[in-house]
Amino acid sequence: MNLNFLIPIWVWCGLIMFAACLQAQDSPPNILLIFTDDQGYQDLGCFGSPDIKTPHLDQLADEGRKFTSFYSACSVCSPSRAALLTGCYPPRVGLTKVLFAQDNKGLNPQEITLAEMLKQVGYRTACIGKWHLGHKAPFLPTEQGFDYYYGIPYSNDMRIDPTAKLADDIVLREGVTRDQIKTVPVSKQKDRLVPLMKNDEVVEYPADQTSLTRRYTEEAIRFMAENKDQPFFVYLPHTMPHIPLFASEEFRGKSEAGLYGDTIEEIDDSVGQLMDAIDRLGLAKQTLVIYTSDNGPWKLKNGHGGRAHPLRGFKFNTYEGGMRVPCIMRWPGHIPPSSETDAVAGTIDLAPTIAALCGAALPQDRVLDGHDIMPLMTGKSAASPHQAYFYYKGNRVSAVRAGDWKLRTTPANPKKQIPEMVELFNLEDDISESKNLASEHPEKVAQLREMAAQFNQELRNASRPIGELGK
């Protein structure tokens, strides 16, 4: 009997199995990116909180990797988010200030967001939470690469734009009428009441903030379940713990760290629910989960602010506490469990990294500032791809870090006859930035100053404008 004809069958079977294995291994991962608002460096159990209990985040760290020198690109909300979604320092994309309900500006639709990159390769995309990159129609998430949007358009201490599009079935609360919304200008609104949006319409006003964390969680789980058979990108920028703080009844008064602690513990519970859902859907091995914060905590003494210990500084400044944020990543089979890295990385690296691992093309016609940090995530490399990391405050380079050294400058104020302040810290020896070594190491000061000036000039030469209505 001639068995030769069987050989091709065996070969075929082998090839098919090999291809199936390759496909399973190489199929692009789902991305769940959880981004809290103003959560301090210390405000998780696994980052040292003495009184906020975060068992689910601690488990996420046990199953993944902690990044202990991970930076947001700005110490306030809008620029930080612009950087996250574009892979650029905020002045590169012209978005350097917080946006308000009166503003006609937003992230330029010409920018190519991470969501747009992923859509090109077949991802379903959702933004569930606080947007804050422009609330006018051309700047909304649904115009910037997201198939679905549910959340508040800017910070929860802001008001409503009377020109906002209202859904026919809008839920009006607290006695507010459509007429009131349409006729009272932002400057005349007494209360800071924020709207809740679905896609391009306001669906609830004022938003019931006590249930936002729960509703965001439900929306995210629903979206993942509906799209479990194709790759998805769920961007979940929580409204909390930005002030004013709100927790649901179930969590209010529960933590040992006041209302702030309650909000974090509710977010932790949300993380637990999301991980359970990912397990239930059988997606754990093909889902990269990233958890981080948009900037440091508020400096408030009324129990509504967070903590960045052992770091110095808070939101609004460029000491470490303003911009170094907790970060955890989990991707079973790719990211080693119970591991951590102290190499410098940041939110500007997420777009290039995720695009690369999802097979999406990065834009070639513009400069991006972030790097692919996959080698740091997998542990294949221990070295940061950033020769220097720059801390922008508005349009100004306020600080630069190269290796362990950090230079921070505060401009002179001639009116008050205050000279320029120059601070030099060695973060390896002094993570709390308590010893200014500028006078001991003038050569280091000069070197870092030159580095910052040179980079800033390069950035100016290749920066792009903010989006503005009518322009």
Binding site residues, Mg ion, CB under 5 A: 37-38, 77, 294-295
CA distance 90 to 96: 6
Q: How far is the CB of 295 from Mg ion (least distance, A)?
A: 5
CB closer to Mg ion, 124 vs 315: 315
371 is catalytic: no
Measured distance between the N- and C-terminal CA atoms of the chain, rounded to whole angstroms: 79
The distance from CA 184 to its chain's CA centroid, rounded to whole angstroms, is 33
Q: How far is the CB of 37 from Mg ion (least distance, A)?
A: 4
Specify whether the CB–CB gap between 348 and 373 falls below 8 A. no
CB closer to Mg ion, 36 vs 384: 36
Q: How far is the CB of 131 from Mg ion (least distance, A)?
A: 12
CB closer to Mg ion, 37 vs 349: 37
CA distance 214 to 62: 24
Q: How far is the CB of 38 from Mg ion (least distance, A)?
A: 4
Q: Is 66 helix (H, G, I), strand (E, B) or coil?
A: strand
CA distance 323 to 134: 22
CA distance 112 to 375: 24
Q: How far is the CB of 83 from Mg ion (least distance, A)?
A: 12
CB closer to Mg ion, 132 vs 371: 132
* Kind of pairing between the strands at 30-36 and 232-237: parallel
Q: Is 234 helix (H, G, I), strand (E, B) or coil?
A: strand
Task: Output the residue with the shortest Cβ distance to Mg ion.
Answer: 77
Active-site residue identified among 56, 74, 77, 135: 77
CB closer to Mg ion, 84 vs 343: 84
Active-site residue identified among 132, 238, 334, 386: 132
CA distance 75 to 67: 18
CB closer to Mg ion, 42 vs 384: 42
| Angle 297-303-306 from CA coordinates, rounded to 5° | 20
Burial class (CB in 10 A: 0-12, 13-18, 19+), 154: buried
132 is catalytic: yes
Return the DSSP state at 459.
Answer: H
Q: How far is the CB of 130 from Mg ion (least distance, A)?
A: 9
Please provide residue 370's backbone torsions phi and psi, each rounded to the nearest 5 degrees: -80, 165
Q: Which residues are catalytic?
A: 77, 132
